[in-house]
Structure 1
Amino acid sequence: MTTETDAVLVRAMATGDRGALARAFDRYAATLTRYTWALADDRQDVEEVVQDAFLTLWQRSPTLELPADTVLPWLLVVCRNLAFNAGRKRTKHRADELPETLATPSDHGEAAETLRWVRAEIAALPELDRRICELCLLEGHSYAEAAELLGLSVGAVTQRVSRNRRRLKKVVMHDEH
């Protein structure tokens, strides 16, 4: 069985292959959901952001070019922008401070640059917290998997992820990029 690359999936979506979208969803939905929880407090918002990110991928697939092997950074930026917009709708008093719209990234390079702030924040964490965030928020491992890999309890991982989500959310809400 050969592993289908993200570039192949995107090209298939561009030709109308709904199965390719389903395979991309299966590949990245869990990671995007974990990441979006760092940006949104409400379960409904998280679900909508993830669904809308895949809808955006479907819509942009005919023009999307991936200079790297993965569409994940692009999807993460889409989630960030969608979550930011959802938060803006809920928080009327902040509406005047925020840009009118946030565009989705036009290519993988732009997405990687936009995620610079996320990686910088994670890199600044103490080593154990940094590794937990990399495993759970960026690589898509479950808390149980991260706990096993790091020799910690699931509760310890859960607590550290929760604390660092709050920190990342503050950065997202005050990000000037």
Structure 2
Amino acid sequence: METVGVSDRVLLHRSATGDRRAFGALFDRHSRALTRYAWALVSDRMDVQDIVQDTFVTAWNKASWVTIAESSALPWLLVTCRNHALNLRRKKANHRTESLPDGLADVAVNEDRALAAQRLRWVLTEIESLDGLDRRICELCLIEGRSYAEAAVIVGASVGAVGKRLERARTLIRTAVSNNEQ
């Protein structure tokens, strides 16, 4: 199939009917521009590749109902690419662990464990008072520095459940520490 001079609208229509060559032509036509755009949105090579791939998977899955302006699919692809980048950014923000404040981090590094435990007694007491699963999640994410995904695998829960449990535990710990410092 010759694709020179064929509009993106026609290529998308053919893709919707399962024409892989038409979709390949659409990919060849716009993948460089999408890759450059993805680099402007994220800084990791693997993330760029994932975003571009997800954009074209979305285009393949939605080819039957995508309406493009004029004859180019590029504006729609760029918006889709941006949405995937924003979703990735949100996902990474949700799974990021927070580090200890500077003073507390120094305590853990520079002092022996007994003294560090004494200085962090309110936090540790609150973590110990949590139910078993919440306590384990706090130990994994807050103390050991593991990601939500790693903790989810270890405790056998979803990443979302780990995030919600940790958010709830952090609120309880912050409240308890604030009350004990007053």
Query: Taking structure 1 as the reference length, what is the TM-score of the superposition?
Result: 0.50
Residue 131 (structure 2) aligns with: none
Tell me if the contact between 1:57 and 1:75 (Cα under 8 Å) persists in the aligned partners. yes
- Identity level (%): 47
Q: How does 1:107-146 map to 2 (within 5 A)?
A: none
Q: How does 1:40-55 map to 2 (within 5 A)?
A: 40-55=42-57
**Count of matched residue positions in the alignment of Structure 1 and Structure 2:** 94
Query: Aligned pair 1:78/2:80, yes or no?
Result: yes
Cα drift, residue 66 of structure 1: 2.0
Cα drift, residue 76 of structure 1: 0.3
Distance in 1, matches of 2:25 and 2:69, equals 20
Distance in 1, matches of 2:76 and 2:93, equals 26
The 4+ residue runs of structure 1 with deviation greater than 6 A are: none
SS where residue 38 of structure 1 aligns?
A: helix
SS where residue 43 of structure 2 aligns?
A: coil
RMSD of equivalent CA atoms? 1.7
Residue 94 (structure 2) aligns with: 92
Equivalent residue letter for 2:79: V
SS where residue 85 of structure 2 aligns?
A: helix
Tell me if the contact between 1:21 and 1:54 (Cα under 8 Å) persists in the aligned partners. no
Flag the structure with larger Rg.
2
Listed one character per residue, the Cα deviations across residues 48-85 of structure 1 (whole Å, up to 9, x for unaligned) are 11011111111111111223111000000000000011
Cα drift, residue 93 of structure 1: 7.8
Distance in 1, matches of 2:94 and 2:36, equals 26
Distance in 2, matches of 1:56 and 1:62, equals 11
Q: How does 1:1-177 map to 2 (within 5 A)?
A: 2-92=4-94
Distance in 1, matches of 2:15 and 2:95, equals 39
Listed one character per residue, the Cα deviations across residues 89-117 of structure 1 (whole Å, up to 9, x for unaligned) are 112289xxxxxxxxxxxxxxxxxxxxxxx
The gaps in structure 1 that reach 5 residues or longer are: 95-177
Distance in 2, matches of 1:93 and 1:10, equals 36
Change (3 A) 1:17 1:91: same
Equivalent residue letter for 1:22: G
Equivalent residue letter for 1:46: V
Listed one character per residue, the Cα deviations across residues 106-150 of structure 1 (whole Å, up to 9, x for unaligned) are xxxxxxxxxxxxxxxxxxxxxxxxxxxxxxxxxxxxxxxxxxxxx
Tell me if the contact between 1:33 and 1:50 (Cα under 8 Å) persists in the aligned partners. yes
Tell me if the contact between 1:9 and 1:20 (Cα under 8 Å) persists in the aligned partners. yes
